[in-house]
Amino acid sequence: MQQRTYEVRTFGCQMNVHDSERLSGLLESAGYVKAAEGAQADVVVFNTCAVRENADNRLYGNLGHLRPVKTANPGMQIAVGGCLAQKDRGEIVRKAPWVDVVFGTHNIGSLPTLLERARHNEKAEVEILESLEVFPSTLPTKRDSAYAGWVSISVGCNNTCTFCIVPALRGKERDRRPGEILAEVEALVAEGVLEVTLLGQNVNSYGVEFGDRLAFGKLLRACGTIDGLERVRFTSPHPAAFTSDVIDAMAATPNVCHQLHMPLQSGSDRVLREMKRSYRSARFLNILDEVRAAMPDAAITTDIIVGFPGETEEDFQATLDVVAQARFSSAFTFQYSKRPGTPAATMDGQLPKEVVQERYDRLVELQNAISWEENKKIVGRRVELLVAAGEGRKDAETHRMSGRARDGRLVHFAPTGAHVDRAVRPGDVVETVVTYAAPHHLVADGDLLSHRRTRAGDNAEAGLRPKTSGVTLGLPGFGAPAAQPEPVSGCAL
């Protein structure tokens, strides 16, 4: 019998991207194969996000496009999971009765069973749990990248930010044990991965569940003992939980990148109070000063919301002032988006769209100017790049390739020169000199100073990707993980 094919469509943040890797792993473990590029899949899975206002429209627009496809192919199945599914539940099937399966953030492991049940019963299956069925990292995972991997260290959130729907949909924070995390990192490195990004809704509050306030700094240091792990990143820390120990660990651990993404959200202390963000602008700026004192080359990025209910021109000016002082290398800027079910959605002072847009434009103009000024400081510097796939939209036209510097900056470079060993591939490591700066990227058009072929590059060239089968160890502990069965099932096409 011909194997059924699948496609996973992802909306939202890194958490969702990593969850989609798990969904792919689950489906392949159940016998499905990934649909060929451009081919119509037998099963289409939407992994949704509920953070932005247009998330609903985007989902239902995509579902609408698939309705005639499914009518023409009755055996096709459509599944909807993620945060929007957790929020809307049975409403999705009411609005789009051609959907076969709806599952939530706490039971992604149920997807293959729900698909089979819907096929057998010939009716939609909606299953939403209120708490985690199993920790997601125990599930099989089909990785998207041969050279970089996400590693969840916690799920959920204990904060109550008034603009955010995530705690209601992801639940309270649950922390993985350190040994499990380190075992997963070692499994990825054993498959050739050079870089890992530690993921958590508030990644630096890691350890709260087992009562160790310094656990995150310890985890970073432990990652520094893993042979073959060249780069460690993490996202996203919360300013209120940021400790000097984390800064010390970043500075003292050679493979931890000097990059920090820390959401500001607003520079107005009054707005921060309304947002229930438990820090103030002075505290935020003090953290940046401490980071730069320990790591002068650190690149710091942030998230900012413009137009929160009740934001005055004075409040917005405070945000501009903090941005000017902070000198972020880049910022993700958002216009406030009303999310039903959040306290902010019912607050007085909802701002007109034109006011928010005008403020947003001013913020973007200021941050772009700062980003450009900061990037110009890099011109003439030697940088080490982990070569990436698909990050340079114009690479084919310019005959360049793209990679990420250790500080996270995107660099488009010329893969030329006497030091090139045969050919440069995604996953290889090169060194070059920056020749030009733009607000959102750098260019290095000279010949490469060095080129190191890697196992990750070999795997990328061969189309191989790590496929981890889930790691569990039990009790907390730092250092080398205990001996255990091999957690990686090998590379898969």
Q: What is the CA radius of gyration of the chain?
A: 23
- Given a cut of 90, is residue 2 above it in pLDDT? no
pLDDT, position 477 = 41
- pLDDT given for residue 106 in this prediction: 87
350 contacts: CB under 8 Å, gap ≥ 6: 309, 338
**Pairing between β-strand 5-10 and β-strand 401-405 as defined by DSSP bridges:** unpaired
What token pair was written down for 100?
A: 């076969």
pLDDT 10s digits, 138-182: 778 889 899 999 999 998 899 999 999 888 888 889 999 999 999
Q: Identify which of 102, 125, 154, 89 has the alpha carbon closest to the alpha carbon of residue 341.
A: 89
**Which contacts (CB < 8 Å, 24+ apart) does range 113-117 have?**
114/79, 115/43, 115/77, 115/79
- According to the model, what pLDDT value does residue 134 have? 67
The residues facing 444 across adjacent strands are 413
Please state, for a pLDDT cut of 90, what percent of the chain lies above it: 77
Classify residue 96 as left (phi > 0), alpha (psi -120 to 50) or beta: beta
What local confidence, expressed as pLDDT, does residue 471 receive? Answer: 52
User: Residue 467: its pLDDT value, please?
Assistant: 79
264-282 per-position pLDDT tens digit = 999 999 999 999 999 999 9
Q: Percent of the chain scored above 70 by pLDDT?
A: 94
- pLDDT recorded at residue 168: 81
pLDDT number for residue 410:
98
Per-residue pLDDT reduced to its tens digit, 42-92: 999 999 988 766 777 889 999 999 999 999 998 999 999 998 999 888 899
pLDDT in tens, 458-481: 999 999 998 777 654 433 344 333
| Lowest mean per-residue pLDDT among 9-13, 31-35, 97-101, 395-399 | 9-13
Model pLDDT, residue 19: 87
pLDDT tens-digit series, residues 285-323: 999 999 999 999 999 999 999 999 999 999 999 999 999
pLDDT higher than threshold 60 for residue 373? yes
If you average pLDDT over residues 120-140, what whole number do you get? 82
Q: Write out pLDDT tens, residues 63-75.
A: 999 999 999 998 9
Residue in the structure block whose two tokens are 């701002």: 351
pLDDT given for residue 51 in this prediction? 74
Mean local confidence (pLDDT), 443-459: 98
- Note every long-range contact of 63-68, with CB atoms under 8 Å and residues 24 or more positions apart, other chains counting: 63/96, 63/98, 63/99, 64/96, 66/98, 67/96, 67/98
Q: What is the mean pLDDT of the chain?
A: 91
Q: What is the spatial distance between Cα 51 and Cα 46, in angstroms, rounded to a whole number?
A: 15
3 CB burial (10 A radius; 0-12, 13-18, 19+): exposed
The pLDDT-based confidence of 130 (bands split at 50, 70, 90) is confident
